[in-house]
Amino acid sequence: MLKFLVPALLLLSTGATMAQTSGIPPEELTNTRRQAGDTINVCFDRTSLGRQFDEAVAKALGDALFLDVKVIEGFGGFPLNGDGFIDELTLAMNNDCDMFMGVSVSENTPVSDAFSITRPYATIPFVLAVKNPDWQSLGDIPKDQRLGTAMASMGEMNYITWAQQRAKPERWVRLPYADPELMATRVLDGTIAGMILWQPVLARLQKDRPDAAELRVIANAPIPESETRVGALVSSRNSFLRSQIDQAIDALVADGSIDALLKQFGYAGRAGS
């Protein structure tokens, strides 16, 4: 998700200008409508750390709508500034994808006329993870200690906004990290006191690294909570599909299916918004 967040935020902040600035040669765009029948093509950012969860949600949506889900890996590996993401997304959504999973969404956010955003199927927080067993919240950490933040993430931006309103002695020195593995290592070896990152990233670290079991989540106070609402994109040309997906999301939220998937993958947060 760390690599995914920046393209997702870029997607939702550039607005309708995306379609006008696309660098895709016209001959690469397919102008015929796909006849999918009872199959839905679902695409993913293959570098997203939430990839398996998003696929599980997609399959649950397909089951709810009596549709076979055809998984298309999509693309990934973009730089942190998201350069090239919009062109790849536009090409994929035009030519291959009925739905693109794992997009960070928020209400009233402008988006390209080419895309339509579904309702959020999950809301997942950014968390503060530390090794020190005595700290219960960020406020317990001495100000001479340093914090790591997931580079260009909502959690980092949330901390920056808070810190900019405080005098230097009232805030912690922030060290941005592009690599969550390295950031976790630095918490474990004491180089930094803690790290702010998307909770699924921490869940993956704790699954893959035995030493990450020493990491524990503490309260963010005094900084505000930060969370990402996760949804999907569909083509704006297919308003019927958008309506059906939204209804299926509502049903899966109401019957506890999304909450069960969050628990299965070890994710904090809640179903829906």
* Chain center to CA of 29: 27
The length of the chain in residues reads 273
Quick check: is 223 in a domain? Answer: no
The pLDDT of residue 119: 94
Residue 10 has pLDDT above 70, yes or no: no
CB atoms within 10 A of CB 32: 6
The CATH number of whichever domain residue 41 belongs to comes to: 3.40.190.10
The pairing of strands 194-198 and 146-150 is parallel
Average pLDDT of every residue of the chain: 85
pLDDT in tens, 155-206: 999 999 999 999 999 999 999 999 999 999 999 999 999 999 999 999 999 9
State how far the alpha carbon of 222 is from the alpha carbons of 124, 136, 226, 228, in Å.
19, 12, 12, 19
Based on the fold, state whether residues 86 and 44 are members of the same structural domain: yes
Q: Do 26 and 61 lie in a common domain? A: yes
Domain membership of residue 225 (yes or no) is no
Of residues 175 and 86, more confidence is placed in 175
Q: pLDDT of 100-157, one tens digit each?
A: 999 888 765 556 677 889 999 999 999 999 999 999 999 999 999 999 999 989 999 9
Task: Examine residue 224 and state whether it is found in any structural domain, yes or no.
Answer: no
pLDDT of res. 252: 98
Q: Examine the fold and report which residue of 176, 192, 218 is the final residue of a domain before the chain moves on.
A: 218
The token duo for 113 is 């006329």
The arithmetic mean of pLDDT across residues 233-259, rounded, is: 94
Q: What is the mean pLDDT of residues 210-233?
A: 96
Shared domain check, 194 and 257: no
pLDDT of residue 90: 79
**Which range is least confidently modeled, 36-45, 147-156, 178-187, 228-237?**
36-45
Structure confidence at residue 18 (pLDDT): 36
Q: Specify whether 119 is located in the same domain as 6.
A: yes
Q: Are residues 69 and 201 in the same domain?
A: no
Give yes or no: residues 129 and 93 share one domain: no
Q: Looking at residue 237, what is its pLDDT?
A: 81
One-letter-per-residue 3-state SS of the chain: CHHHHHHHHHHHHCCCHHHHHCCCCHHHCCCCCCCCCCEEEEEEECCCCCHHHHHHHHHHHHHHCCCEEEEEEEECCCCCCCCCHHHHHHHHHHHCCCEEEEEEECCCCCCCCCEEECCCCEEEEEEEEECCCCCCEHHHCCCCCEEEEECCCHHHHHHHHHHCCCCHHHCCEEEEECCHHHHHHHHHCCCCCEEEEEHHHHHHHHHHCHHHHHCEEEECCCCCCCEEEEEEEEECCCHHHHHHHHHHHHHHHHCCHHHHHHHHCCCCCEECC
Is the pLDDT at 49 greater than 70, yes or no?
yes
* Better-scored residue on pLDDT, 107 or 223: 223
Counting the structural domains of the chain, the total is 2
The phi-psi region of residue 236 (left if phi > 0; otherwise alpha if psi is between -120 and 50; otherwise beta) is alpha
Residue 95: per-residue pLDDT? 80
pLDDT band at 46 (very low <50, low <70, confident <90, very high): confident
Asked if residue 143 and residue 196 are part of one domain, the reply reads yes
- Residue 14: pLDDT band by 50, 70, 90 thresholds? very low
Q: Are residues 114 and 139 in the same domain?
A: no
Residues 131 and 204 in one domain: yes
Q: Compare 91 and 133 and report the one with higher pLDDT.
A: 133
**pLDDT surpasses 60 at 41:** yes
7 and 113, same domain (yes or no): yes
Q: What is the rounded average pLDDT of the residues 193-222?
A: 97
Residues 108 and 134 in one domain: no
Q: pTM score, two decimals?
A: 0.84
- CB count, 10 Å around CB of 65? 16
Query: Would you state the pLDDT for residue 9?
Result: 39
Range of the structural domain that residue 106 is part of: 2-123+230-271
**94 and 70 inside one domain:** yes
